[in-house]
Chains A and B, each alone.
Chain A
Amino acid sequence: MAMLVYLIPISLLLGGAGLAAFFWALRSKQFDDPEGDSRRILNDDWDDHPKP
């Protein structure tokens, strides 16, 4: 049972990290254009050189 002392904080931390990642994604406008983003990945415009 002593394991719980480590496991519960670890699991809470991991879950919290997921929550924080969701907040970050929401704030950095990553849900603005779900349809466009799913198509942009197929775009080969910047394959050879990065976008200026």
Chain B
Amino acid sequence: MTVTDPPRFSGCAACSVAPLAERTAEPSGRGGNELLLSLPTIHCAGCISTVERGLNETPGVRGARVNLTLKRASVTTDPGMTAADLIPVLDGLGYEAHELDPGVLSATATDRAGRDILMRLAVAGFAMMNVMLLSVAVWSGAADATRDLFHWISAAIALPAIAFSGQPFFRNAWSALSVRRLNMDVPISLAITLAAGMSLYETMLSGRHAYFDAALSLTFFLLAGRYLDHRTRAIARSAAEELAALEVPRALRVTDGAEETVAIADLVPGDIVRVKPGARLPVDGVVVTGQSEIDRSLLTGETLPVYAGQGATLSAGEMNLTGPLDVRVTAAGEHSSLHRMAELVAIAESARNRYTSLADRAARIYAPGVHLLALGAFIGWLAATGGDLRLALNIAVAVLIITCPCALGLAVPAVTTAASGRLFKRGLLIKDGTALERLAEVDTVVFDKTGTLTLGMPEPTNLHQHPRRAVEVALALAEQSAHPLANALAGAARKAGVETAPLTGITEVPGYGVEGQWGEVPVRLGRAAWVGAEAGERTAAWLRLGDAAPMAFTFADRPRAGAEAAIAALKAQGMAVRLISGDAAGPVAELARRLQIYDWTAEALPEEKAAAVRALETRGRKVLMVGDGLNDTAALAAAHVSISPATALDAARIASDIVLLGADLSPLGAALVTARKATRRIHENFAIAAGYNMIAVPIALAGFATPLAAALAMSASSITVSLNALRLR
């Protein structure tokens, strides 16, 4: 699976998650079939009508609708139709299409939460505007009966609105208090309820000051912060889900010689599964018939393909290269080695959640401080005025409102939204809320080799050292095979302008190589042992012409685009760069030299990788781990922050905090810069909020704070903070 499509950023989270939930909830109607296709290349009005018309004209399709924001099409078809029938239709129209697994995309819960917050936000906004207009009349001098009337109307609007909109805060505050802890929602809930209650009391007594507008604008601004936060997470989650949904878990089951496509979940140990060349193994199993070569690079980092014949034990996630294999299932689904690895990752993940975000650290100082300050004001004024309860309470409420973390609530979400949007455009998907902050602290970068710094695609290195006629024979043989080494050899030879030699009787021997006749001479291209050569340390395909000594065509893994640029950028920022690979020393040393990494380790086992990362962490280094294979997952989870490319295995993507969507590595350097800038903005925002408080709190403590002053301070600080976040360009 390759995801090279341009990163997409949808307009709003509710929009991106809503349709899926609707779709999965919808009954498919009279036995119809709901299919979901990802269309990474659609971009215009013309595309929508071409795709919809093309799909609707296909026999068996009942209806098709394109969602351009998500770049997806949902198709209702007659029962029995599959995505495989529709993908060629779309290919014919000029659009690349991939099937998505609707099961993985069940975003119902996130969708409901997003809509819920949006609805509360709308109610709070509506009520705030109305109450604010009524308050303007009071501020500009309405008195006596008019003022009381306006206060009563405000109360009638504000109280139900607060009861509805404030629920997320009240619920969070209650759950924190019930375990005897303080979080940001406790002072928020207290300020909102006290302000509303105090204002109602004042209104009953025909008092001069009512804070209904302040209570509502507080709710509104804080909900806006919550919504931004939710939106960022929902977009990341839905994009991550889409990556997972691209891998539709299917297998070819063979029963009595007949093949049928089944879901992996339906396989039981003992079933026979056919794995075609080029396919990934869906299960753990033992080879029953057939022989082939297996690419284990995603699991172990080894680039040398391994021979697999009858009786060989294979694990899920390995790639079958040359011949079809019939495999008896030993473990599938939740019991397969892939899944067990994913569970290990989950355990490692829970250990990492100890990181406290900047927002939490701020709340820990802030929440008790505010309460003490308000309590102090209450007691102080009670003593100073000789027991004027109403005045003292009024001032305490004013202190709570003025200090209330309106700006603090927006300080972090506004910045993370801006930063992750910016990184998303560059092709980096932030999966975790605190990943940006952790990324900003990094001082050491550890890379994996195969699939991360390299593409896992071989490239011939010594083509020009062989006689031209040998290369011609090799090309003729290589063109008959689907093996990646043969493909690479054929491609490079064609590029060099080599013609094919006239061969006869070319046959591929799965698991070994290709053989044929060159005039009278039998020729073979394949594994070292098969052509009678001694296998070396480097990846190679061997060619034997008749009885002559076999010659080796060696291969090196091609570095990923932007790998050199990324490493140069990281070094320029003063990062220590390390390379830890599970591959043999030869290829690792060569790549390290090519990319100018001086600190490298080869033949590292998965545990050794994780141990190396942990050792760095205990020495006080903050490690960024970049890796893609199953052998990296433990290290990814152990690192301070981790990145994996979109081509990585599911388990590795789950374990990492950030996913690189494109094939290019070069955004890495810029991502670190953006993360550091974002953290600086967050700090600035805290400083701005604190600055406002420093001016406003003495005023409130002295008893000069009016509802007008509270409204001004609140809006001004919220707007300043949001604008500062938007500066992140």
* Chain A contacts to B: CB under 8 angstroms: 1, 4, 8, 11-12, 15-16, 18-19, 22-23, 26, 29, 31-36, 39-40, 42-43, 45
Bound Cα distance A14, B11 (Å) = 28
CB-CB < 8 A to B153: which residues of A?
8
Contact A40 B45 (CB under 8 A): yes
Contact B70 A33 (CB under 8 A): yes
Contact A32 B130 (CB under 8 A): no
CB-CB < 8 A to A29: which residues of B?
18-19, 22
Bound Cα distance A19, B53 (Å) = 37
CB-CB < 8 A to B14: which residues of A?
26, 31
Chain A: CB-nearest residue to B68: A36
Name which of B118-126, B456-464, B676-684, B713-721 contacts chain A: B118-126
Contact A32 B69 (CB under 8 A): yes
CB-CB < 8 A to A8: which residues of B?
153
Bound Cα distance A40, B67 (Å) = 11
Asked whether B115 is an interface residue with its Cβ less than 8 Å from the other chain, the reply is yes
CB-CB < 8 A to A12: which residues of B?
130, 157
Contact A15 B66 (CB under 8 A): no
Bound Cα distance A34, B12 (Å) = 9
CB-CB < 8 A to B123: which residues of A?
19
**B102-142 CB contacts (< 8 Å) to partner A:** 115, 118-119, 122-123, 126, 129-130, 133
Selected A-B contacts with CB under 8 Å, 11 pairs: A26-B118, A26-B119, A26-B122, A32-B67, A33-B67, A33-B70, A35-B10, A36-B66, A39-B45, A40-B45, A43-B48
Bound Cα distance A19, B66 (Å) = 29
CB-CB < 8 A to A1: which residues of B?
146
Contact A42 B45 (CB under 8 A): yes
Contact A19 B122 (CB under 8 A): yes
Chain B: CB-nearest residue to A52: B56
Asked whether B573 is an interface residue with its Cβ less than 8 Å from the other chain, the reply is no
CB-CB < 8 A to B49: which residues of A?
43, 45
Asked whether B15 is an interface residue with its Cβ less than 8 Å from the other chain, the reply is yes
Bound Cα distance A51, B494 (Å) = 52
CB-CB < 8 A to B10: which residues of A?
35
Extra contacts besides A32-B19, A33-B19 (18): CB < 8 Å: A15-B126, A19-B126, A22-B122, A23-B119, A26-B115, A26-B119, A29-B18, A29-B19, A29-B22, A31-B15, A32-B22, A32-B67, A33-B67, A34-B11, A34-B69, A35-B11, A36-B48, A39-B68
Contact of B68 among A18, A26, A35 (CB under 8 A): A35
CB-CB < 8 A to A31: which residues of B?
11-12, 14-15, 18
Contact B12 A33 (CB under 8 A): no
A30 to chain B, nearest CB (A): 9
CB-CB < 8 A to A34: which residues of B?
11-12, 15, 69
Asked whether B44 is an interface residue with its Cβ less than 8 Å from the other chain, the reply is yes
Contact of B15 among A19, A23, A32, A39 (CB under 8 A): A32
Report B15-38 CB contacts with A as 1/0, cut-off 8 Å: 100110010000000000000000
Asked whether B611 is an interface residue with its Cβ less than 8 Å from the other chain, the reply is no
B137 to chain A, nearest CB (A): 10
Asked whether B615 is an interface residue with its Cβ less than 8 Å from the other chain, the reply is no
Chain A: CB-nearest residue to B14: A31
Bound Cα distance A33, B19 (Å) = 8
A21 to chain B, nearest CB (A): 10
Question: By DSSP majority rule, is chain B's interface helix, strand, loop, or mixed?
Answer: helix
* Chain B contacts to A: CB under 8 angstroms: 10-12, 14-15, 18-19, 22, 44-45, 48-49, 53, 66-70, 115, 118-119, 122-123, 126, 129-130, 133, 146, 149, 153, 157
With A8-B153, A35-B11, A43-B48 as contacts: A18 and B18 at CB distance below 8 Å:
no
Smallest CB-CB A-B distances: 8 pairs: A36-B68, A39-B45, A34-B11, A35-B69, A32-B19, A31-B15, A33-B67, A35-B68
Chain A: CB-nearest residue to B20: A32
A39 to chain B, nearest CB (A): 4
Bound Cα distance A40, B70 (Å) = 15
Bound Cα distance A16, B19 (Å) = 27
Contact B69 A18 (CB under 8 A): no
Chain B: CB-nearest residue to A18: B126
CB-CB < 8 A to B12: which residues of A?
31, 34
Bound Cα distance A42, B11 (Å) = 19
Chain B: CB-nearest residue to A42: B45
A29 to chain B, nearest CB (A): 6
A23 to chain B, nearest CB (A): 7
Contact A15 B68 (CB under 8 A): no
CB-CB < 8 A to B133: which residues of A?
11
Contact of A36 among B53, B69, B115, B146 (CB under 8 A): B69
Contact B67 A43 (CB under 8 A): no
Bound Cα distance A36, B15 (Å) = 12
Chain B: CB-nearest residue to A34: B11
CB-CB < 8 A to A19: which residues of B?
122-123, 126
Chain A: CB-nearest residue to B66: A36
Chain B: CB-nearest residue to A19: B126
Chain B: CB-nearest residue to A45: B49
CB-CB < 8 A to B130: which residues of A?
11-12, 15
CB-CB < 8 A to A26: which residues of B?
14, 115, 118-119, 122
CB-CB < 8 A to A33: which residues of B?
15, 19, 67-70
B270 to chain A, nearest CB (A): 45
A40 to chain B, nearest CB (A): 6
CB-CB < 8 A to B53: which residues of A?
45
CB-CB < 8 A to B44: which residues of A?
39
Bound Cα distance A35, B14 (Å) = 14
Chain B: CB-nearest residue to A44: B49
The interface centre, meaning the residue of B44, B53, B68, B157 with most chain A CB atoms within 10 A of its CB, is: B68
Bound Cα distance A18, B45 (Å) = 30
A2 to chain B, nearest CB (A): 12
Bound Cα distance A29, B22 (Å) = 9
Bound Cα distance A1, B641 (Å) = 64
CB-CB < 8 A to B69: which residues of A?
32-36
CB-CB < 8 A to A22: which residues of B?
122
CB-CB < 8 A to B118: which residues of A?
26
The interface centre, meaning the residue of A8, A22, A35 with most chain B CB atoms within 10 A of its CB, is: A35
CB-CB < 8 A to B22: which residues of A?
29, 32
